[in-house]
Amino acid sequence: MSREKIVKESFGPEDKAKKNYSGKLDGAYGLISMSKRKIIFVTEKGIFRKSYNLVLDLPYEKIKSLQTEGNYTLIIETEDLKHTFESEGLRISTVEIALRELMDQEPS
């Protein structure tokens, strides 16, 4: 299944990706996608034959805290888990601001 299809199916028909950033989540390379309701992460493996896997599907109401570490790391905490996202060459403040703005919006 393609990454685009996984993202589209994960968000559902009434939601769509608003922001996408490449990087590593808990050490696995892939793409973090943010919608008006949740954040997902799809891993990418392979060079010539790529495979994709949904490893995070997190509604915003489950996020308890966000904090940055250095210039390229964002820590996302829930009640019982802690995820580390490392951006790929993009300052993490850009990712954090985008995520906070989407989390603050009222889902329609």
Whether the full predicted model's pTM is greater than 0.75, yes or no, is yes
Summarize pLDDT for 24-69 with one digit per residue, the tens: 999 999 999 999 999 999 999 988 989 999 999 999 999 999 999 9
Q: Domains for the chain: give ranges and CATH numbers.
A: 3-104 (2.30.29.30)
Average pLDDT of the chain is 93
Cα four-point dihedral sign 88, 89, 91, 94: negative
Burial class (CB in 10 A: 0-12, 13-18, 19+), 63: middle
55, 43 contact by CB (below 8 A): yes
pLDDT(70) > 90? yes
State mean pLDDT over 80-102.
94
Q: What pLDDT is stored for residue 9 in this prediction?
A: 92
